[in-house]
Structure 1
Amino acid sequence: MIASPPSRRAVLGGLGATFAASPLLARTSSSPTLLRAAAMREDVALLRRAYAELHPGIHRYNTPREIDARFAALDQAAAIPMTLRAFYLTLSRFLATVRYGHSYANFYNQRREIAVALFEAPDRLPFDVLWIGDAMVVTADPFATGISRGSRILAVNGRSASAILAALMPLVRADGHNDAKRRRLLSVQGDDRYETFDIFFSMLFGQDRYQLTVEDPSGRRRTATVAGVSLAQRRTTAHAGVDASGDTPVWTIERRGDAALLSMPSWGLYDSKWDWRGWLDQAVDRLVAERVPRLVVDLRANEGGLDCGNALAERLVERETPFEEVQRLVRYRTVPDDLRPVLDTWDRSFDHLGENATRISDRFLRLDTQGDRVDPIRPRGTRYEGDVRVLIGPQNSSATFQFADFVRRNRLATLIGETTGGNRRGINGGCFYFVRLPATGLEADLPLIGRFPTTPQPDRGVTPDITIPVTRADIAKGIDSPVRRALA
């Protein structure tokens, strides 16, 4: 059986101290601390080898020539000494071109001293935002700046919002060409402890204070000056993600008229002591017993985690149903011995992941053995036969993308909202290495299993049956139109 990964938070604590600090810096009295070119190029070569030999999707959204050219450009950029921040940006820009949501310089897997140096400057914009197209729309004002919900930030320190977005997008992870996912990651909505926007905006444009051009919901324009806030301040405003470490339920279910609304903001329950399966079964049992005619499942803030959706699907299917119409592919039988020291993971069995796999081409082995396959969804308990509606959006990728795709293919529910993250043409995940780059101290995630469809599929996420986009007007009025539609 392929193990599920630990939480990103647990990974940092468990693996972050693996490498001791290296003598990698060149310092002069008149210049900032710089990484040596030799150190960066050494790590680029190591990353290139690890990705070339182990990454199942390296050529899924790029040709071999394109990837070779990008690695060559990364090596050329590394030939000039640069700061740690500049190299992290350079590395992030390269990894974004691989076009996989699980292939990036993971914020949570960097060594503590590097995370402090790169991610904790007190220069975060003091409000929550959502990108709607290239419009930067304020969704909350937790620090009382006086910028109302639904206002649009037109410019920051004279730079247009659209120019800021254009500068940030090439740095952000997503599967394939699913730019809606990139925009969602660049929104500040309290989904996680580190906001992607905060980190990259800080590195490119961070200041102590910002002069803003603001358009309020009525269309009136004005200027405003605001001070940046720290990571600790940001986290006092519920920007810490969902705390699933205890035994307290992280999902809720409530009656809304003749319907029930099940909110599942996270499936990242790796370390949770909460019996989420038992809780979910009890909730569905009550729906059945009380003959509730409609169930609305809200997944919009949920990027993924464990396959919690399978437990819900078992209560919806009428018969045994294949969960996936994909092949699960890997690149290797056994990891080369000389690479293992830099490949951190929570399960060393991944070193032999393809040992019993079936060779299907020069590039791929297919995971066919018992325990490597994803089991079909089998009916369990009394089936809920009511009308199911699932709210989806661009945050959904990994496990929530797979669940939405399963629902779509088997017509188990009506999908409402916006197109998901992930990509129907193929995603990676399941098992991971955390590539420790010893010369510079940085880390890059490396997914090991390719989940590729058996028939041609479009380069996009799962499209809802009923599309209801988030609008600036709804934000200003505090209206949740997808929920309203699902409950109607």
Structure 2
Amino acid sequence: MNRRQLIAALAASAFLPGSAAAAPPTPEALATDIALLRRALALHCGLHRYNTPAQMNARIEALSRDFAAAADTAQRYLILSRFLATIRDGHSYANFFNQRRSVAAELFDRPTRVPFHFRWLDRRMVVTAYGRDQLPPGTIVERLNGTPDRDILSRLLPYTRTDGHNEGKRVSLLELRGTESIETFDVFHGLVFGPPPESRHRIEAVTPDGRRFTVELPVISLAQRRAQMVVQEDGDGPIWTWTVRPDGIAVLDMPSWALYNSKWDWEPWLRARLDTLPSLAGLIIDLRGNEGGNDCGAPILARLIATKLTRDAGERRVRFRTTPKDLDPYLDTWDDSFRTLGVDAADLGNGFFRLPPVAGVDWIDPVAPRIVRPVAALVGPVNSSATFQFAHLAKRSRAIRLFGEETGGNLQGTIGGGFFFVRLPASGLEFDLPLIGYDPSGPRRDGGVRPDVAIRTTAADIAAGHDPTMDAAARWISSG
């Protein structure tokens, strides 16, 4: 589940109208917000997975002081975001899409956006698109408004979310790929660095052929950024594509699995195309820009496996039987059954309750007719929710070979499955609180799923229009 899912799942309450407060909130009122946050976090399964209770208590105390002393909503949003990032849970953050309209307008619609898309490659800002003639793909932006690109990245990373110490996810969030209607880089760069002089960015760059130059380009608006999106998931038609290359390899491009707000019946569409796979050389599934959403990977795996495939995500745990009644008014959600998640759960002690196993959630059964063709999946650090789980399963199944970079998510466990959207009344801010912890047994590496074949994209690849990950996957299928 990801941020795009949340706007779909709670459409009636996301972007609620009204202002955060008619007058600036008092320090005493803001202190009650943090007291509410502390109580809500007691429901969080992973609060002490990467932090000791003493460390978290100290951080909440510091948050309370800093939050009350902050000058405005923007400062409070940054302070809250930086605190939530220390939990090291990729679903716990002050969700852009669940803020009230007035807060969202104040924080996210600022005249600060850079007019191009880019990736971070070896901690360098590499232009990928929309750079006009001045910034062709592969150009490295060495300084933006006088600040070195590496320093920009270092200053923004503490505000971004990840699972555990998987830093690749944080870096990927600070790229501009055109997959989000509100981009993480736009938000935090705008709030931390502010608008550039005269609404023009001063860019010191080096072109792919080594020429250094300086150019000034105007900022773009939120509407202009959205016009550059490569994923438009709110329609009713397919957002995936299935193409067959001249070499007989099918490419399934899946830029998003967040289909909760779409009337598109994706399962028959996918099934019909998988049915054609036995007559083709193989399949490449491109997931590199896909954070997650629906469990769209399970029907693919079901056609490739011969026996039951357990998810190996470990026990599903919660931290409560029922939510406190006096806390409920501040816990927004789209499914009130979440408030009683632990009623029938087994008491594990230490405040944890184990949920019973569920078919389709804890394992995948094979579906006939089985497809026996080479299948590759292209993965990377963006994959941190449902796509992380898919990558983990795909690698364990040995039915799919992974190409690319280490995924987001974390093998030590993730948290999701259900959410509360915690509304802090004095400040008007919201943060997402995931409810179900997935706790695998035994020691696990603190990181994502590593691909079977690691591929790194370079600035030279971008300049030349090469896709080395796609090329490597195609060579593997063709060689078989």
TM-score normalised over the length of structure 1: 0.93
- 1:480 is matched with which residue: 467, 471, 474? 467
Counterpart in the other structure of 2:243: 254
Deviation at 1:450, TM superposition (A): 0.5
**2:33 matches 1:43:** yes
Q: Structure 1 residues 70, 145: CA separation in 2 closer, same or farther (over 3 Å shift)?
A: farther
Identical amino acids, percent of aligned pairs: 45
Distance 1:5 1:133, change over 3 A: closer
Cα offset, 1:10, TM superposition: 2.8
* 1:472–1:23 Cα change, 3 Å: closer
What amino acid maps onto 2:274 in structure 1?
V
1:17: how far off?
Answer: 6.3
Question: SS of the counterpart of 2:304?
Answer: coil
Matched residue SS, 1:308: coil
CA distance in 1, matches of 2:205, 2:271: 48
Residue identity in the other structure for 2:424:
L
Among candidates 319, 322, 335, match of residue 331 of structure 1: 319
Whole-Å separation in 1 of the counterparts to 2:415 and 2:464 = 39
For residue 306 of structure 1, report the CA deviation from its aligned partner: 0.6
2:13 corresponds to which of 9, 12, 15: 15
How do residues 39-188 of structure 1 correspond to structure 2 at under 5 angstroms?
Answer: 39-51=29-41, 53-141=42-130, 144=132, 146-188=134-176
The residue that corresponds to 2:364 in the other structure is 377
Pair 1:116–1:4, CA change in 2 (3 A):
closer
How far did residue 113 of structure 1 move? 1.1
Q: Distance in 1 between matches of 2:298 and 2:353?
A: 26
Instruction: Indicate the larger mover: 315-324 or 437-446.
Output: 315-324
Partners of 1:101 and 1:422 within 8 A in 2: yes
Residue 342 of structure 1: how far off its partner (Å) = 0.3
Match of 1:278 in 2: 268
In the aligned structure 2, how far is the partner of 1:4 from the partner of 1:480? 26
Q: Aligned with 2:177: secondary structure?
A: coil
* 2:15–2:104 CA contact under 8 A, matched in 1: no
Aligned-pair distance for 1:287?
1.1
> What CA distance in whole angstroms lies between the structure 2 residues aligned with 1:381 and 1:279?
17
Following superposition, the deviation at residue 36 of structure 1 comes to: 2.9
- How much has 1:12 moved relative to structure 2? 6.1
Report the alpha carbon displacement of residue 374 of structure 1 after superposing the two structures with TM: 1.7
Q: How far did residue 66 of structure 1 move? A: 1.2
Post-superposition Cα deviations, 1:468-488, rounded to whole Å, max 9, x if no partner, equal 011111011111110011111
Q: Which runs of 4+ in 1 moved over 6 A?
A: 3-6
How do residues 401-440 of structure 1 correspond to structure 2 at under 5 angstroms?
Answer: 401-440=388-427
Distance in 2, matches of 1:46 and 1:333, equals: 19
Q: Normalising by the residue count of structure 2, what TM-score does the alignment of the two structures yield?
A: 0.94
CA contact (8 A) 2:70 2:76 kept: no
Map 1:187-226; keep pairs closer than 5 Å: 187-205=175-193, 206-207=195-196, 208-226=199-217
User: Structure 2 unaligned runs (5+)?
Assistant: 476-480
User: Counterpart amino acid of 2:68?
Assistant: A
Kindly tell me: are residues 209 and 275 of structure 1, through their superposed partners in 2, closer, same or farther at Cα, counting changes over 3 Å?
same
1:84-136 alpha-carbon deviations (Å, 9 max, x no partner): 00100000000111111100000000011110110011220011110113201
In 2, Cα distance between equivalents of 1:345 and 1:245: 24
Tell me the distance in 2 between the aligned counterparts of 1:47 and 1:158: 38
Which digits, 9 at most, give the CA deviation of each residue in 1:176-208, with x for residues without a partner?
A: 111111111100000110110001001111321
2:421–2:431 contact (8 Å) kept in structure 1: yes
How has the CA–CA distance of structure 1 residues 117 and 255 changed in structure 2, closer, same or farther, with 3 Å as cutoff?
same
The more displaced of 226-235 and 3-12 is 3-12
Compute the displacement of 1:394 (Å): 0.5
Letter in 1 for 2:433: L
Structure 1 residues 280, 23: closer, same or farther in 2, change over 3 A?
closer
3-state DSSP of counterpart to 1:15: coil
Partner of residue 305 from structure 1, selected from 293, 309, 330: 293
Tell me the equivalent position of 1:442.
429
5+ unaligned residues in a row in structure 1: which ranges?
Answer: 27-34
One-letter amino acid of the structure 2 residue matched with residue 306 of structure 1: N
